Structure 1
Amino acid sequence: KGALIGMLLFGPRRRAMVMPYETIERAAATLREKGHVARGYLGAGLHPIRNGDTHGAMVMSLDDNGPAKAAGLHLGDIIVSWNGEAVHGPRDLIRRLGPDSAGASVTLGVARGGERRDVVLTIGEKPLN
């Protein structure tokens, strides 16, 4: 029919990737409406951690005005779950911070000083600059 089905891109290490038409159309509509595509933002620098039974993302830095600090996260906290689902590292968290996540409330399972606790956090919108 001659319809657009996607766009070929070259990603990391020059690997070919195909972006589906639906993704392009959704991004274009958002750009027309807002002028940018929002991304979720925690405001925390994270590092992967694997220590015995604890797997997750350790908080290495906090943005003073970020959602993580406002929710009460501290340096050294290890994020081990997101709404009850295990977190295996920073990449796992970043995958969950898509365009639809900004403004959502999530419960993070956190290991602090050997104890586990839940922290409720409202995901922010990543600053443009």
Structure 2
Amino acid sequence: MVDVGRKPDTERVAVASAVVLLGPVAFKLVQQNELKKGDALVVAQLAGVQAAKLTSQLIPLCYHVALSHIQTWASCRARGPTGVEMEALTSAAVAALTLYDMCKAVSRDIVLAEIKLISKTGGQRGDFHWA
């Protein structure tokens, strides 16, 4: 693992996204909150928050980060020596997977796509913003 012990603590924020393309049947059921499993968007948001908090247990060699804020859709903030990009990306990916799980009983024409980092601030390498 990379030694982050000598890196200064800085405020770090990362925002990530994932695209979920639903077929017309699943889209209508999600939109009208009529899925048998419940409110898919609320469950996906909760899954995203939980995933951000558990990232170091899911991604090998990823440091545990004491997050000070998580906002789904996939924004994470912490003050520390390492970034929060992995937490934001994991949050977005798991939220997307949860939406798939909530909808798969009614439709299989679901596509998960474009899991990406939108922006990050803080740290030695400077800021990044998707163009």
Q: TM-score, normalised by structure 2?
A: 0.27
Judging by fraction of residues, say which structure has more helix: 2
The higher-RCO structure (CA 8 Å, 6+ apart) is 2
Name the larger-Rg structure.
Answer: 1
TM-score normalised per structure 1:
0.27
